[in-house]
């Protein structure tokens, strides 16, 4: 039975995963090497809870329970020793994932299950960084985690049926719908999303229209809830570029990152998290209204 969960990486995704984990009744420790990232995570989770309270989606008892069961730490050793499940949410770079899973393997107990929140990478390859491929799986959450209903569960070559069943139950207890699929780079969702988002950058680069016009065309013409530029600003342009680089390497030419996307990343325009991506958020107030 899963009681204790450690989430590694408290960025855009890790903080949301930690929150829905605590909401699901688990004892959760959120870990990061960067103290500032942990502080930001704590503030954002508090904001989500305040909004949940004001909308009556959660009660003050739930908030109290979450405050008692959700912990923040830069020192994962002790929590890893007690963990039944570790969910990794560090940047989409093979070297970083390898380093993190090597560390987790060292401190986690033998029964502990390992999940990666990778958007694109092979859970089989990630499992090869550990000594427990049958206990390793991908658990792909979506952004923003507390609002998005799906967890895409991806089995690696050696993932056991038992691991897949337990992970599905955990995701459901976190309030999520699930699909369980077999591994192929990009899975179902990231493969489509990266392709559409990259194509939009090529269109922008070709002068086809403004970001507003392209987003509006996709939303109203194709019935997408968000335009590709609104979405990439939420996802993070750096995260999207890492995904595309991986898919380009594994699946070929059609995933080559648009040069304009690379240029925006070089300029530090990473999306909402830095205040500017395709759109400029310095002129948008907290309610999301342009001033």
**182-192: b or e for each residue (b if 16 or more CB lie within 10 Å)?**
ebebbbebbbe
Does position 275 interact with ligand NAD (CB under 6 A)? The reply is no
Cβ proximity to ligand NAD: between 59 and 102 the closer is: 102
Number of residues that bind ligand NAD (CB under 6 A): 28
Of the residues 5, 6, 30, 31, which one makes contact with ligand NAD according to CB under 6 A? 31
User: Would you give the binding string for ligand NAD spanning residues 198-237, x where CB under 6 A is met?
Assistant: -------------------------------------xx-
- Shortest Å distance, C-beta 60 to ligand NAD: 29
User: Would you give the binding string for ligand NAD spanning residues 111-130, x where CB under 6 A is met?
Assistant: ------xxx-----------
Does position 271 interact with ligand NAD (CB under 6 A)? The reply is no
CA gap 103, 81 in Å, rounded: 12
Nearest-CB residue for ligand NAD: 11
Does position 9 interact with ligand NAD (CB under 6 A)? The reply is yes
Does position 186 interact with ligand NAD (CB under 6 A)? The reply is no
Residues that bind ligand NAD (CB under 6 A): 8-14, 31-34, 37, 89-92, 96, 99-100, 117-119, 141-143, 235-236, 239
């Amino acid at each position: 039975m899963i009681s204790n969960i450690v989430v590694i990486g408290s960025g855009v995704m890790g903080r949301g995963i930690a929150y829905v984990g605590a909401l699901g009744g688990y004892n959760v420790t959120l870990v990061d090497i960067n103290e500032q990232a942990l502080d930001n995570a704590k503030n954002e989770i508090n904001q989500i809870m305040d909004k949940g309270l004001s909308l009556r989606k959660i009660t003050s008892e739930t908030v109290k329970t979450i405050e008692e069961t959700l912990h923040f730490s830069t020192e994962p050793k002790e929590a890893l020793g007690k963990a039944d499940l570790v969910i990794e949410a560090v940047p989409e770079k093979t070297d970083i994932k390898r380093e993190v899973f090597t560390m987790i393997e060292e401190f986690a107990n033998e029964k502990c299950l390992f999940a990666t929140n990778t958007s694109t990478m092979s859970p089989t390859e990630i499992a090869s960084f550990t000594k427990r491929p049958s206990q390793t799986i991908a658990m792909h959450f979506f952004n923003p985690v507390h609002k998005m209903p799906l967890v895409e569960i991806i089995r690696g070559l050696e993932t056991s049926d038992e691991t897949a069943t337990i992970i599905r139950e955990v995701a459901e207890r976190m309030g999520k719908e699930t699909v369980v699929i077999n591994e192929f780079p990009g899975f179902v969702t990231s493969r489509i999303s990266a392709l559409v988002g990259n194509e939009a950058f090529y269109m922008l680069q070709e002068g086809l229209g403004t970001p507003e016009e392209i987003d509006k065309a996709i939303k109203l013409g194709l019935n997408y809830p968000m335009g590709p530029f609104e979405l990439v600003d939420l996802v993070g342009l750096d995260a999207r570029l890492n995904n595309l680089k991986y898919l380009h390497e594994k699946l070929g030419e059609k995933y080559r990152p648009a040069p304009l996307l690379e240029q925006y990343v070089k300029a530090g325009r990473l999306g909402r998290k830095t205040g500017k991506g395709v759109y400029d958020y310095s002129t948008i107030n907290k309610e999301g209204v342009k001033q």
